[in-house]
């Protein structure tokens, strides 16, 4: 594999060793996908099985006004921030197919390494959440037919982890998801449609619900702040450059089309099921909506299994930057079906997913992982850094007012990130005191 070396234009006063960054070529496919396929990939993230939890993790702590306004505003702001990031894909006369590559070009080697660590921590936390979600869905399916508690949540998380490993072996890179996108879309339609219809039926029959925001005093405030972190987690990936790397030329124009699709058509199902779930069950709705709905066992079983399989497919999207790094570092090339490459994926990707699965079973607090991920990495990667990068990249073309606007975004989202981190950490500590490790939630 070849390497590209460039010097950060913003670090010219530093020595070459500090400012230079070596960028490896990629072992994965680049510029292979249509804007529509990329739009579907982005929409899969928004409407993943996580969407079944937003009634409980966003609407309950924020209520009708805060929840609806927050989700709508977060949609608009996330589209704006993601578009900024997409427009930075081609800076300095070259493409930047990884987030850390762009950071290295604009800031130098130190930022390259820091952003690398931050992004991979973000994706790792997201993947932990997907394993928890898939394990919870599988447990819910099991409980439909057997209520003996012989198998507990950690067992189902382990089964989900094995399924994720098998899928990672079978799917060499992000562009290879093409046929699986159809299955993922089908699974997504099934669990969202079933959740929506059964929630409507329950809501029509139910007595008046309590929409009062639960909690009091300090705990209520922390829950609200944590829910704000969930708002931004719901729409953003922290890996726009990596997804954009797969899109065909013109990469900026096509990525903007994909983002417009994601934040218009793509977000409608998530918004709909979030609002209807809260309407139907009020403040008692759980962080997994299918636990609240009532209906025939076979219908609920289809929904649970759909959520299980869709979470496994979507996890692969967020694990793909890690896989790309490992494949590139160790020089994976040739046919994906070559025994050497299959064995490599089994050992290396399997090891990564074993660690992910273990931590998922250790602390299976899904709502807190959403808040923690949003605070630690999603907000900085999606809102803070893109605005600052845009100032650096376009500094000679921006007016003072435009620069002030971007700095305002940096300060506001910096404060939100810190507050959400403290809230998520506090709520996680409280839950670890309430529940033991490897809890059966």
Report the CATH number at residue 86: 1.20.1740.10
Cα(69)–Cα(115) distance, rounded to whole angstroms? 31
Q: Say if residue 242's pLDDT is above 80.
A: yes
Establish if 399 belongs to a structural domain. Answer: yes
Confidence at residue 1, expressed as pLDDT on a 0 to 100 scale: 41
Lowest mean pLDDT among 4-13, 88-97, 312-321, 331-340: 4-13
Establish if 11 belongs to a structural domain. Answer: no
Lowest mean pLDDT among 6-20, 229-243, 315-329, 356-370: 6-20
Average pLDDT of the residues of the chain? 84
- The residue-averaged pLDDT of 255-277 equals 95
**Among 5-14, 97-106, 260-269, which range has the highest average pLDDT?**
260-269
Q: Say if residue 23's pLDDT is above 60.
A: no
- Model confidence band, residue 433 (pLDDT cutoffs 50, 70, 90): low
Q: Say if residue 415's pLDDT is above 60.
A: yes
Confidence at residue 306, expressed as pLDDT on a 0 to 100 scale: 96
- The residue-averaged pLDDT of 299-308 equals 96
Q: 400 CB contacts (<8 Å, ≥6 apart)? A: none
DSSP per position, 393-436: HTGGG--HHHHHHHHHHHHHHHHHHHHHHHHHHHHHHHHHHHS-
Omega cis (within 30) before 250: yes
- Model confidence band, residue 92 (pLDDT cutoffs 50, 70, 90): confident
Establish if 3 belongs to a structural domain. Answer: no
Q: Say if residue 28's pLDDT is above 70.
A: no
| Pairwise pLDDT comparison (364 vs 131), residue with the higher score | 131
Lowest mean pLDDT among 111-120, 140-149, 429-438: 429-438
- The residue-averaged pLDDT of 102-111 equals 88
| Pairwise pLDDT comparison (235 vs 214), residue with the higher score | 214
Q: Say if residue 299's pLDDT is above 70.
A: yes
Establish if 149 belongs to a structural domain. Answer: yes
Given a contact cutoff of 8 angstroms between Cβ atoms, the answer to whether 390 and 406 are in contact is yes
Confidence at residue 13, expressed as pLDDT on a 0 to 100 scale: 46
This prediction has a pTM of: 0.84
- How many structural domains does the chain have? 1
Facing residues of 5 across strands?
Answer: 22
Enclosing domain of residue 318: 35-434
At CB < 8 A and 24+ separation, what contacts does 22-27 make?
23/98, 23/101, 23/104, 24/328, 24/329, 25/1, 25/328, 26/97, 26/245, 26/324, 26/328, 27/1, 27/324, 27/327, 27/328, 27/331, 27/332, 27/333
Q: Say if residue 12's pLDDT is above 50.
A: no
Establish if 265 belongs to a structural domain. Answer: yes
Cα(201)–Cα(343) distance, rounded to whole angstroms? 49
- SS3 state of residue 343: helix
Facing residues of 94 across strands?
Answer: 91
Half-sphere CA count of 64, side-chain side, radius 13 A: 9
Establish if 19 belongs to a structural domain. Answer: no
Establish if 144 belongs to a structural domain. Answer: yes
- The residue-averaged pLDDT of 149-161 equals 90
Establish if 439 belongs to a structural domain. Answer: no
């Amino acid at each position: 594999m070849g390497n590209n070396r460039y010097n950060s234009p913003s670090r010219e006063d530093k020595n070459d060793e500090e400012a230079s960054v070596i960028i490896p070529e990629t072992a994965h496919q680049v510029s292979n996908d249509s804007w529509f396929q990329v739009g579907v990939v982005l929409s899969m993230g928004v409407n993943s099985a996580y969407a079944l939890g937003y009634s409980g993790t966003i609407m309950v702590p924020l209520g009708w006004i805060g929840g609806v306004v927050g989700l709508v505003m977060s949609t608009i702001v996330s589209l704006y921030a993601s578009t900024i990031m997409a427009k930075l894909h081609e800076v300095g006369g070259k493409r930047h197919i990884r987030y850390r590559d762009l950071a290295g070009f604009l800031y130098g080697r130190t930022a390259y390494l820091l952003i690398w660590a931050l992004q991979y921590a973000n994706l790792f936390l997201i993947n932990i959440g997907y394993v928890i979600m898939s394990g919870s869905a599988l447990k819910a399916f099991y409980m439909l037919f057997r209520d003996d508690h012989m198998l507990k949540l950690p067992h189902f998380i382990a089964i989900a982890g094995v399924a994720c490993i098998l899928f990672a072996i079978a799917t060499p890179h992000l562009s290879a998801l093409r046929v699986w996108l159809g299955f993922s879309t089908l699974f997504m339609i099934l669990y969202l449609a079933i959740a929506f219809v059964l929630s409507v039926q329950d809501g029509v029959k139910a007595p008046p619900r309590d929409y009062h925001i639960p909690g009091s005093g300090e705990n209520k405030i922390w829950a609200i702040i944590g829910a704000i972190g969930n708002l931004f987690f719901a729409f953003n990936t922290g890996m726009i450059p990596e997804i954009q790397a797969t899109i065909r030329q013109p990469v900026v124009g096509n990525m903007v089309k994909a983002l417009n699709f994601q934040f218009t058509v793509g977000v409608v199902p998530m918004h709909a099921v979030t609002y209807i779930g809260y309407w139907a069950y009020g403040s008692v709705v759980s962080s997994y909506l299918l636990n609240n709905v009532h209906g025939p066992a076979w219908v609920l079983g289809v929904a649970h299994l759909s959520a299980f399989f869709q979470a496994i497919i979507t996890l692969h999207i967020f694990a793909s930057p890690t896989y790309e790094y490992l494949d590139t570092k160790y020089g994976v090339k040739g046919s994906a079906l070559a025994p050497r490459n299959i064995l490599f994926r089994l050992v290396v990707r399997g090891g990564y997913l074993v660690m992910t699965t273990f931590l998922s079973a250790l602390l299976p607090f899904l709502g807190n992982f959403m808040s923690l991920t949003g605070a630690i990495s999603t907000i900085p990667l999606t809102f803070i850094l893109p605005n600052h990068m845009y100032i650096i990249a376009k500094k000679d073309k921006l007016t003072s007012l435009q620069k002030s606007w971007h700095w305002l975004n940096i300060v506001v989202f910096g404060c939100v990130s810190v507050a959400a981190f403290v809230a998520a950490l506090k709520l996680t500590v409280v839950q670890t005191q309430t529940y033991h490790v490897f809890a059966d939630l």
